[in-house]
Amino acid sequence: MPKVAIIGGGISGLALAYRLRQYLADVDIQILESEKNIGGKISSIHEQGFIYESGPNGFLDSNPSTLNLSKELCLSSQLSPANDAAAKNRFLLLGGKLRLLPSSFIGLLTTDVLSLRAKFSLAMERFQPRKQDSSDESIYAFAQRRVGTEIAEKLVDPFVTGIYAGDARQVSYQAGFPRLAAMEKNYGSISKGLKASRKARLATNPESGRSSGQLWSFDQGLGTLTDALADRCGRSKIRQFQASNLKHDKDNKKWIVEGGNGESESFDIAVLSCPAMQQAQILKNLDEKLADIISSIPYNSLAVVVMGFRSGDVPIPLDGFGYLTPSSENRSILGVQWCSSIYRGRAPAGSVLLRAMCGGASRPEMVDLDDDVLAKMIYRELQLSMKIQAPPYFVKVIRWKNAIPQYMVNHLDKIQSIDETLTNHPGLYLTGNAYKGISINDCVENAENTAVQISRWWNRSKERSF
């Protein structure tokens, strides 16, 4: 019976534990989490009739990994799809005004958000030559090369902000946006690739009538998923433990996990699913080279400001997902989600719930501001952008230091080096959102892949022992 340590109780660690219980008979799994609560960045908070997320806000079914997992966990009846308007209506803050972002290629060619020159560049994208070499570049440079500077600044820059809270001029297009890289490689054009993707999706799921993914959460928030995983894995197998060091007893083929309080325990397999900087700290005595590579993956910090307003105090119709702000606008807000318009039941009757994100690559200093100062700054921004007439009656500020890993240019080279170095440490595995995708879907999918790798390695190792 293998004994497995999973260091980190976020969605990656929980999903891995769940899958390992399916793939390895009689496996003994211990989830070691440094914080009191499980779930990592996923946390759904219920307060004064509001339901708000402290971290991620949902997952798309364009990658079915999380949706399928939810159904396996018998959570289908609790799934909550996003409002159709939220999927279609997304806004940009340009020149201090909210501008509807077109949801189709034709819409982009007719909108007044873009100049005639930018529209021409977009229409001609399919005729641009594909990249001839395999070198990486930033997503900004990629967009600039294929559709020009204006679209890179007005559309791609805020898009990257919405996903990574990062700098489009530094985030890798190959690692951060692999679908776009694959489209250029396979179709020679993003517009051709998107057309093929829409056609394939409609062919596989014609009843949905959708050419793009549906956004999902749960009636009571995303915490429903992590709670269900914790229950399936066994709450008694999850304990608060501050892992500080990892040793390998090669003679006995055991991994020794040491804690900050001097406690230690041995395992057959060790998996690190905590944030990269914690993984590097744990591994530095075992393999300094590996730790150095992992520690070179940077993170951006983020502040989330949640505000509840009386419906009558918000004069504009909240018929959409919310808005993003291009960095060229030099505003204090990266973006605002209209949470009570995205999912049902997120605010009490007669109220609306908004969630503003700030900090990130463009304004990192905002994360350290006092709660009252930060809330006042956000409220002033909302007065300008959304014409709100009265202050919020509900305010919460959530800070995430080292919130989102940044896949900088040549990130994939780091991943290759990490994978190669790990071959020197049989029985040691790394997972989490620092490596091969930051979304919930990526974490769930990577956890399953890791579970398959572990089960195959364990079974092979047992065969060799006979």
Looking at 155, 178, 208, the residue that finishes a domain is: 208
- One domain for residues 204 and 280: no
- 438: closest CA among 402, 413, 463, 410? 402
| In a domain? residue 144 | yes
- One domain for residues 316 and 387: yes
**Residues 358 and 102: beta-carbon distance below 8 Å:** no
**Sequence-ordered list of residues with C-beta below 8 angstroms from that of 274, at least 6 positions apart, any chain:** 7, 8, 10, 13, 34, 243, 282, 432
CATH of the domain at 178: 1.10.3110.10
Looking at 390, 405, 420, the residue that finishes a domain is: 405
For 416-453, how does the pLDDT look when each residue is reduced to its tens digit (9 = 90+)? Answer: 999 999 999 999 999 999 999 999 999 999 999 999 99
Strand 351-359 and strand 335-337: the pairing is: antiparallel
Angle ∠(137,138,140) on CA atoms, nearest 5: 130
- One domain for residues 313 and 398: yes
- One domain for residues 171 and 149: yes
Beta partners for residue 245, in sequence order: 258
| In a domain? residue 28 | yes
- The tokens for 305 are 């400001």
pLDDT at res. 429: 98
Neighbours of 146 (CB within 10 A): 24
Euclidean distance between CA atoms 83 and 325, whole angstroms = 22
- The tokens for 353 are 């719930």
- One domain for residues 12 and 29: yes
pLDDT at res. 104: 80
pLDDT at res. 464: 64
- One domain for residues 322 and 375: yes
| In a domain? residue 106 | no
| In a domain? residue 289 | yes
- One domain for residues 132 and 150: yes
Which residues span the domain enclosing 424? 3-40+223-297+408-465
- One domain for residues 357 and 331: yes
Residue ranges for the chain with pLDDT beneath 50: 466
pLDDT at res. 447: 97
pLDDT at res. 211: 52
pLDDT at res. 242: 94
| In a domain? residue 218 | no
**Residues 220 and 78: beta-carbon distance below 8 Å:** yes
Task: Look up the pTM and report it.
Answer: 0.94
| In a domain? residue 20 | yes
pLDDT at res. 209: 53
pLDDT at res. 105: 79
Looking at 362, 381, 405, the residue that finishes a domain is: 405
Euclidean distance between CA atoms 404 and 444, whole angstroms = 17
- One domain for residues 122 and 155: yes
What letters, b where the CB count within 10 A reaches 16 and e where it falls short, cover 272-283? Answer: bbbbbbbbbbbb
| In a domain? residue 373 | yes
pLDDT at res. 194: 86
pLDDT at res. 1: 82
| In a domain? residue 101 | no
CA distances from 438 to 62, 177, 269, 326, 435 (A): 15, 11, 24, 21, 8
CATH of the domain at 350: 3.90.660.20
CATH of the domain at 30: 3.50.50.60
- One domain for residues 257 and 307: no
- 306: closest CA among 398, 390, 396, 367? 396
- The number of domains in the chain is 3
- One domain for residues 414 and 292: yes
- One domain for residues 289 and 302: no
